[in-house]
Structure 1
Amino acid sequence: MKKKYIIAPLGDSAIIIEWEQEISPVIHQRVLNTYHYLRSLQHIYILDLIPAYASLTVIYNARAARYAYDEVIRIVTDALNMSAAEVAVVSRQIEIPVCYDPSLGPDLLAMAEQKSLSVDKIVELHTQTTYTVYMLGFLPGFPYMGTVDDILATPRLKKPRVKIPAGSVGIAGAQTGIYPLDSPGGWNLIGKTPVRMFDAEKEIPCYCQPGDQVRFVPVSLEEFHELNHNRQ
């Protein structure tokens, strides 16, 4: 039977496990199962684990011993050979408030016009889906989530903005995400959340984690400002 993954060296102190390269909940569940199982081992050779859409990078301590690489390969192979039931992980269910007022979502009106939809319909389509957090990247705590309704899929802006406010909710292709910090960016902005997506002072600084199931809950502009004030 052909393996559905490959294991390859990545530099001199990491390996990468790659599954079929596509955005798929089934494939991503394999990534998460392996990620959480390896984390649970707390093995002294494994320094960090970085899950993505269809891959998992394992950073190991190459100086620990001459055979560190071989040992990590053995551990990873054992994990991959375990049954799904042995390594299954229960995902967190998260609701995130979002205000879809055009003053906070500067691309909302243009998107509605481009797709011949009302703003209310855009909001309805964006909030009716439960999204999987596939990975964190680009910025600390930036959750890449998918997938949006086909009607909402929109290419990145041709000219990225120089500064996007933290909390901005955007769409790029079939993905949706939230900017955790003020930064440049090219996603289509349709709203904003008062939730702080990254806080370096917390024990777990990133609000979202890979595998989380996220639903967006629409709030009014008044509710947004109240929630935003209360978090200060």
Structure 2
Amino acid sequence: MAVKTPRISLAGSGALLLDGAQGAFDDATQELVWAVANAALAFEGVCETVPGMNNLLVLFDPLTTNAQIISEQLNSLWAGTDAHTVTGTHHTIPVSYGGARGEDLAGWAAHCGMPVDDIVRRHAAATYTVAAIGAMPGFPYLSGLEPRLAWARRSSPRLKVAEGAVIIGGAQAGIMPMTAPSGWHIVGHTDVKLFDVQAELPVLLRPGDKIRFTIAGIEG
């Protein structure tokens, strides 16, 4: 499959943003993002690479190199790098669906035109990939949601969504690693801790990890 030429734009005096898909999310493009993120760390002056959803933020030292050089290197790398699947860790995460900690479950089922039990079964049947970590420490953007289960984000974000909330935002699934504002819909809750600042490895999930949800219970 031909690789699209990425769109690369400035993101400040010492950063470039590479947009690989320029449209709907694509798993193959995400694998290329991971590969380019790793390879670009070898460029002179590059300080850090941060994979996003089909995009890549590259931070560099403007005293060592410049945006034009990095942009040319990224274009060459994008065209000449073989995408590869990151060998990630497999995680099983139990979810209690609905109830006071999954308040949007019934609305989600109605939006999708399915019974609650059916939508829960479909959500738990998928294998999700951690495409990127961002928004807040440890927050996983999960690809793999069945298209029929997609639900556009809320027009008015909630100011407080609890740690452990299992959520849906557009065509993506996610889990809240801490209590914070969010415009995603809350469909359940897990007690699995995704971020622990005291731990040796504070963030549980990494890009390329696989997740399966199991049904711990359904309420409402």
Per the shorter chain, which TM-score range? 0.7 to 0.9
CA contact (8 A) 1:163 1:183 kept: yes
Which deviates more, 87-96 or 158-167? 87-96
Residue of structure 2 equivalent to 1:80: 78
Alignment correspondent of 1:104: 101
Quote the offset at 1:88 in angstroms: 5.5
- Structure 1 position 37 matched with structure 2 position 39: yes
Give the Å deviation of 1:3: 5.7
Tell me if structure 2 keeps the 8 A contact 1:170–1:177.
yes
Corresponding residue for residue 150 of structure 1: 147
8 Å CA contact retained: 1:130, 1:215: yes
Output the CA distance in 1 between the equivalents of 2:123 and 2:131.
Answer: 17
Unmatched segments (≥5 aa) in structure 1: 222-232
CA contact (8 A) 2:6 2:75 kept: no
Alignment-derived partner of residue 61 in structure 2:
61
Q: By how many angstroms is 1:93 displaced? A: 2.5
**Residue 17 to residue 185, structure 1, CA distance change in 2 (3 Å):** closer
Distance 1:113 1:6 in 2: 38
Specify the alignment match of 2:203 in structure 1.
206
CA shift for structure 1 position 169: 0.5
> How far apart are the structure 1 equivalents of 2:30 and 2:3?
19
Matched-pair contact (CA < 8 Å) for 1:51–1:135: yes
How many residues of Structure 1 are paired with residues of Structure 2 in the alignment? 216
1:16 Cα offset (Å): 2.3
Contact between 2:15 and 2:60, CA under 8 Å: does it hold in 1?
yes
Q: Which runs of 5+ in 2 are unaligned?
A: none
> How far did residue 171 of structure 1 move?
0.9
Distance (whole Å) between structure 2 residues aligned to residue 83 and residue 145 of structure 1 = 24
Distance 1:20 1:113 in 2: 31
- Structure 1 residue 71 displacement after superposition: 5.8
Tell me how large the CA RMSD over aligned residues is: 2.7
In structure 2, the CA distance between the partners of 1:74 and 1:215, relative to structure 1 (3 Å rule), is same
Residue 114 (structure 1) shift:
4.2
Q: Provide the rounded CA distance (Å) in 2 between the counterparts of 1:68 and 1:157.
A: 40
Structure 1 residue 28: Cα displacement: 0.8
Preserved CA contact (<8 Å) 2:89 2:209: yes
Identity of aligned residues (%): 30
CA offset digits 1:118-151 (Å, max 9, x no partner): 3221210101111222222222221111242233
Following superposition, the deviation at residue 209 of structure 1 comes to 1.9
